[in-house]
């Protein structure tokens, strides 16, 4: 590692921590001088070095043409400060909605950039840390909607970190940027862990969702008599009417609902339990089963469908989460 890198990396980490402490979570914000930072880019520092070298050269040789070139380049640099800063200044950024995903997947976040009047703003890069930047151009007054990807690492409310909005327009000599932190109602579900040995069926309680199996309680219909069957099951009325020899079939009601139960994974740690329960929920939903959830402090009645699946996964994602005040908010 070069000596310059040994100095630069600690400064970057310190600056990042300072920014994270300073940046509050919002739903919408306006980019102004309090939120924008501007510094020369690598090309800009090289440009300033060239201007300084020209000034030294002109001073030593008392050459007015070199002075003119030096001051012309410096004037262009000063003007570019105003133009580059104006690329982001006055923009309003709003979080529209975010996608709930499993941990490890990238969540799609829809943002709205708005400006009060028509003005062309080019080469605006938008990205979360660890993701490729999305380049956008604004020209018309009003709203412009864009979608960026947010990384996820752990379950709970979606917290991808700081969103960076930056630009080096028009000549690349300066970089203007801002850090934004948004508050999301979307959640990150536990990453499912396959557990094929786990039995998915457990008897439930309540009405509905039963399957019939061979038994002795409820009359189910008639079937062709087979030799060896009990004579008590013979349909004598049909036989007396010369309709053939038939056997009565009976069935017992069996609860077909599935309970995704916390206690089924008692020997595992919390995150392992949640991962396997998530897999069980996905398996039940894929098979079209009716399932419910039992987790400490919460019980969801058996049901099926996309809304029920989302409610169950949301409970698993937010189990033990301190931000319970947001659980009942509208899902983004």
Residues 181-237: pLDDT tens digits? 998 889 999 999 887 665 444 444 444 444 444 545 556 667 777 776 776 777 777
- What pLDDT does residue 34 have? 87
Segment among 30-39, 86-95, 316-325 with least mean pLDDT: 316-325
The reported pLDDT for the residue numbered 176 is: 95
- Flag the least confident range among 103-117, 169-183, 313-327: 313-327
Mean pLDDT in the chain?
83
Class of residue 31 by CB neighbours under 10 A (exposed 0-12, middle 13-18, buried 19+):
buried
- Strand 156-157: give its sheet, edge to edge: 101-102, 187-189, 156-157
Contact 254, 213 (CB under 8 A): yes
What proportion of the chain, given as a percentage, has pLDDT over 90?
49
Report angle CA 93, 96, 102 to the nearest 5 degrees.
120
User: How large is the average pLDDT for residues 60-73?
Assistant: 91
Six-digit token pair at 65?
A: 């043409």
Say yes or no to pLDDT of 326 above 70: no
Contact at 8 Å (CB) between 104 and 158?
no
The answer, yes or no, to whether residue 10 has pLDDT greater than 70, is yes
The Cα 130–Cα 259 span in angstroms is 38
Provide the pLDDT for residue 329.
43
d(CA 186, CA 27): 13
Work out the average pLDDT over 161-175: 92
Burial label for 303, CB within 10 Å (0-12, 13-18, 19+), is middle
User: What are the pLDDT digits (tens) for 40-56?
Assistant: 999 999 999 999 999 99
* pLDDT value at residue 9: 78
**Which of the four pLDDT bands, split at 50, 70 and 90, describes residue 256?**
low
Rounded Cα distance, 121 and 267, in Å: 57
Per-residue pLDDT at 254: 53
Looking at residue 195, what is its pLDDT? 74
Across the range 259-282, mean pLDDT stands at 90
Give pLDDT, residue 245: 77
Look at residue 1 and tell me whether its pLDDT is greater than 80. no
Give the per-residue pLDDT at 206: 41
Instruction: Determine the Cα–Cα distance for residues 245 and 237; give it in Å rounded to an integer.
Output: 10
Rounded to whole angstroms, the Cα distance separating 100 from 150 reads: 11
Give yes or no for residue 75 having a pLDDT over 90.
Answer: yes
Q: Which residue has the higher pLDDT, 238 or 128?
A: 128
Query: What is the tally of helices (H) and strands (E) in the chain?
Result: 6, 18
Residue with the two structure tokens 């033990």? 320
Instruction: Give the start-to-end residue ranges of the domains of the chain.
Output: 3-187, 219-255, 258-326
Q: Stretch 328-332: mean pLDDT, rounded? A: 40
Residue 182, class by beta-carbon neighbours within 10 Å (0-12 exposed, 13-18 middle, 19+ buried)? buried
Tokens of 259: 């309970």
**In this predicted structure, which of 14-23, 102-111, 244-253 has the lowest mean pLDDT?**
244-253
Given this model, what pLDDT does residue 105 score?
92
């Amino acid at each position: 590692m070069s000596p310059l890198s040994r100095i630069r990396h600690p400064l970057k980490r310190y600056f990042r921590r300072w920014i994270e402490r300073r940046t509050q979570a919002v739903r919408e914000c306006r980019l102004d001088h309090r939120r924008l930072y501007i510094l020369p880019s690598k090309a800009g520092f090289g440009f300033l070095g060239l201007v300084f070298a020209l000034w030294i050269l002109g001073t030593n040789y008392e050459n007015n043409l070199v002075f003119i070139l030096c001051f012309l380049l410096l004037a262009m640099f000063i003007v570019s400060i105003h133009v580059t800063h104006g690329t982001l200044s006055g923009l309003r950024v709003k979080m529209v909605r975010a996608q709930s995903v499993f941990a490890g997947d990238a969540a799609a976040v829809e943002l709205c950039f708005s400006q009060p009047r028509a003005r062309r703003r080019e080469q605006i890069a938008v990205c979360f840390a660890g993701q490729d930047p999305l380049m956008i151009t604004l020209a018309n007054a009003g709203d412009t909607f864009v979608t960026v990807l947010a990384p996820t690492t752990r379950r709970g409310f979606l917290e991808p970190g700081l969103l960076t909005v930056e630009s080096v327009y028009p000549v690349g000599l300066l970089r203007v940027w801002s850090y934004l932190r948004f508050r999301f109602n979307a959640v990150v579900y536990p990453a499912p862990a396959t557990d094929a040995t786990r039995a998915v069926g457990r008897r439930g309680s309540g009405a509905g969702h039963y399957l019939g199996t061979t038994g002795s309680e409820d009359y189910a219909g008639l079937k062709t008599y087979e030799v060896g069957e009990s004579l008590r099951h013979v349909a004598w009325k049909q036989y007396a009417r010369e309709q053939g020899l038939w056997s009565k079939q009976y069935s017992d009601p069996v609860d077909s609902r599935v309970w995704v139960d916390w206690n089924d994974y008692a020997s595992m740690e919390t995150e392992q339990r949640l991962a396997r329960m998530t897999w069980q929920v996905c398996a039940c939903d894929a098979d079209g089963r009716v399932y419910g959830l039992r987790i400490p402090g919460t019980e969801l009645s058996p049901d099926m469908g996309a809304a029920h699946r989302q409610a169950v996964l949301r409970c698993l994602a937010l189990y033990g989460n301190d931000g319970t005040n947001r659980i009942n908010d509208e899902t983004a």
